[in-house]
Amino acid sequence: MNDEDNFLAEAFRRQLGAMITPAAIRAVEEGKSATALWAELNESGFVDAMLPEDAGGAGLDLAQAFPLICAAGEFAMPLPFAETMVARGLLARHGVGIPGPGAIVMAASSNLLPGARHADHALVGGDGGSALVAITAQGDDLFNTGAATSIEQGELIATFAAEPDTVLVCAAAVSSALMAGAMARVLEMSLRHASERQQFGRSLGKFQAIQQQLAVLAEQVLSAQVAARGAFVGASFDPVRVAAAKCRANEAATVVCNIAHAIHGAIGVTAEFDLQLYTRRIKQWQLAFGSEVYWGARLGLARIASRAETTADFLRLQLATKAD
Amino acid sequence: MSLTLENFPPATLPPHAEALRQEVKAFIAEQLAGVPTHIRARTWAGFNADFSRAMAARGWIGVTIPKEYGGAGLDAFARFVLVEELLAAGAPVAAHWIGDRQSAPLLLHYGTEEQRRTILPRICNGELFFCIGMSEPNSGSDLASVRTRAEKVEGGWKLNGQKIWTTYAHKSHYMIALVRTSGTSEDRQNGLSQFLIDLSLPGITVRPIMIGTGDTDFNEVFFEDVFLPEDAIVGTEGNGWKQVNAELAFERSGPERIYSSLVLLDLWARLLGDNPDTAQAARLGRLVARLAPLREMSVAMTALLTQGHSPITEAALFKDMGTEIEQQIPAEIAEAVAAHPDVAADPELLRTLAYLMQLNHVFSLRGGTREILRGMIARGLGLR
């Protein structure tokens, strides 16, 4: 990350602040058309940020894309922006044309496909490589977040050579960064609420019991953020790094949601209050694309397969930040 | 105020530091050949003067101390690599640990030129071992309430009082102690000073405390009319609290806050074989996933320290989570082992596990308790 990257991320956050307001999120969740909002996102150019510059993109690598995805999580992005940005980048790298202006989700094997309700296309994976398909129907949206329990695949648009789990790894990586961003916002909201809400004649944040809980909340958020950042290095996602990121994000999510709602009390789940916009999304990502046990097992096997003398060696060689 | 990802900027260990790693690995392999895992599990609680002197002979004590004072003149990144390898292998570093991590940097920063010239080279050559006098019988987490007092007398100071839980005081040559030089314990952080105390002076009694495991790492140290020369004070009179706080980021940000149970984890991982069942693989992987961001944070804080920052809140957050995983590793492995009462566990695994199970609950006490750390994080979050 250099100054230019920070500038880009800041510019994106400003746009999101204007575009993805809580009112806009609620409108999408209430079933109002998201066409205009998606068009606006498309026109912003950020959805193409991972395309090469000669294809109209900004040529962002994973490390540069990371803050944009976090920002999408931080604003409870109701449309599959991050998924589409990463999918377009992946397609471009494999020489597959962008299928049109619509959103693309990563339909790896998962009981929930976040964003699928708003997507026209999906990437699907398998032993024979990956494929770009049209979506013709979607299953239930169980969290009212635009997710679907499944998709019906229509036309096969393109296939490309990839590892059998490439789509799953991409989907889990994107989810962990979106979760990290959303959890950071949940921390911020909890701190604000704790300073504003008065009980027993003083603000909640003055109670030691609350302070200790908020400290734990901050720890879990930071740990998940650092783990997610660790998955966004190099040219393409490394399954070992993604395993650590999604495992950590999922574990943290339980603690983060519990504490944030404990701090807020009942108001936190009401429709008029914004907290639930974030925590419903965090919970859907928790259920999607592999749990802490799934990714933990993959990471554990990778640790064993590495034959590293110590776990410190494994952390250093396979999970540490790499020099530019 | 808040804590965000920007508090932990991504950092890597520079090549000059990494260059040290293979040499350290080779040294440890040679020195620790045949040392069983349950002994290695003591890591920075394991006292072995011979090992420390062998380290000194390599120039690896006080690596961050400038060459003119007997150090290696390397940076904090080099020390990170050195310490990471020592802890990961379970090397017995306790003898020189405090001097290397805290006392030498403190004297370099706040000491007089005379103190630097006389003490630092002897820390670096493995001749002097240090301990830290902080807690007292009535001052635990509430450190500012210390009552041990140094009174100004002709030609120096007269010290009276008592310290407790002083790790390896009975095997150390010097103590750096936080004591009151003016006011009363009501004055809290004001009126505290740090002293460099030669533990061979008359009037000092060191009494080991035996803990339930039979170990005697801790001590009570009594000071009865101990005469300290004028130049025993470290830094500025009355500035002790500030000086102690400046050490905290160093004390809490290092790999010793995440690797205390690592040799157990690695022995267990080895014994799992190539094809563990999913539950065991997941148990291992989830612990690794928690360690990974913590190591990143530790490297990030090392970078911040080299840039002159003092990431005290960040270090509190890191240490609270780090000691949690250090406690969790023995707990998880105990659960895994006891889940199959009909299967005989590896004897060395059992010995190592038993040692750590008897002590892992205190990992969150040393160097600042969980509750104090969380209070500091809350302050960093703007709540206090």
- What does the DSSP assignment read for B109-159? HHS-HHHHHHHHHHHHTT---EEEE--BTTBSS-GGG---EEEEETTEEEE
B61 at the A interface (CB within 8 A)?
Answer: no
Tell the CATH topology of A167-319.
Butyryl-CoA Dehydrogenase, subunit A; domain 3 (1.20.140)
Q: Residue A71 corresponds to which tokens in the numbers above?
A: 């920002």
The pLDDT tens digits for A293-314 are 999 999 999 999 999 999 999 9
CB contact under 8 A, B375 and A212: yes
Q: Strands B174-180 and B130-133, how do they pair? A: parallel
Mean pLDDT of A252-281: 98
Inform me whether the C-beta atom of residue B33 falls under 8 Å from chain A C-beta atoms.
no
* Cβ within 8 Å, pair B259-A312: yes
- pLDDT value for B2: 82
Domain boundaries, chain B: 5-129, 132-240, 242-380
Q: Is A300 in contact with B283 (Cβ distance < 8 A)? A: yes
Q: Tell me, which fold does domain B242-380 have in CATH?
A: Butyryl-CoA Dehydrogenase, subunit A; domain 3 (1.20.140)
Sequence-distant (≥ 6) Cβ neighbours of residue A286 within 8 angstroms: A179, A249, A250, A253, A254
Write the pLDDT tens digit of every residue in A57-81.
Answer: 999 999 999 999 999 999 999 999 9
- Whether the per-residue pLDDT at A176 is higher than 90: the answer is yes
CATH architecture, range B5-129: Orthogonal Bundle (1.10)
pLDDT in the model for residue A4: 80
Nearest to B229 by CA among B153, B311, B175: B153
Burial class for A4, CB neighbours closer than 10 Å (0-12, 13-18, 19+): exposed
| B216 within 8 A of B170, measured Cβ to Cβ | yes
Chain B within 8 Å of A224 (Cβ-Cβ)?
yes
Band of residue A1 on the pLDDT scale cut at 50, 70, 90: low
Measured in angstroms, the CA of B44 and the nearest CA of chain A are apart by 16
Residue B96: what residue type? H
Identity (one letter) of the amino acid at B85? E
List all residues of chain A from 108 to 167 with a beta carbon under 8 Å from chain B.
Answer: none
**ipTM greater than cut 0.95:** yes
- B280 interfaces chain A, CB cutoff of 8 Å: yes
| Predicted confidence (pLDDT) per residue in A110-158, tens digit | 999 999 999 999 999 988 899 999 999 999 999 999 999 999 999 999 9
Q: CB A219 to CB B384 under 8 A? A: no
Look up the pTM and report it. 0.97
Cβ(B51)–Cβ(B91) below 8 Å? yes
pLDDT at A3 over 80: no
Which residues from chain B sit within 8 angstroms of residue A6, using beta carbons?
none
CATH topology classification for B132-240: Butyryl-CoA Dehydrogenase, subunit A; domain 2 (2.40.110)
What pLDDT does A126 receive?
82
B369 interfacial to chain A (CB closer than 8 Å)? no
CA of A311, closest CA in chain B: separation in Å? 6
Candidates B176, B362, B294, B95; CA nearest to A244 is B294
- In a structure prediction context, what are the per-residue pLDDT tens digits for chain B, which is 384 residues long? 589 999 999 999 999 999 999 999 999 999 999 999 999 999 999 999 999 999 999 999 999 999 999 999 999 999 999 999 999 999 999 999 999 999 999 999 999 999 999 999 999 999 999 999 999 999 999 999 999 999 999 999 999 999 999 999 999 999 999 999 999 888 889 999 999 999 999 999 999 999 999 999 999 999 999 999 999 999 999 999 999 998 888 889 999 999 999 999 999 999 999 999 999 999 999 999 999 999 999 999 999 999 999 999 999 999 999 999 999 999 999 999 999 999 999 999 999 999 999 999 999 998 899 999 999 999 999 999
Which amino acid is located at A277 in the chain? L
Alpha helices in B113-271 (DSSP H): 113-124, 240-252, 262-271
B289 touches chain A (CB under 8 A): yes
Are B262 and A312 within 8 A, CB to CB? Answer: yes
Cβ-Cβ contacts under 8 Å, B290 against chain A: 223, 248, 251
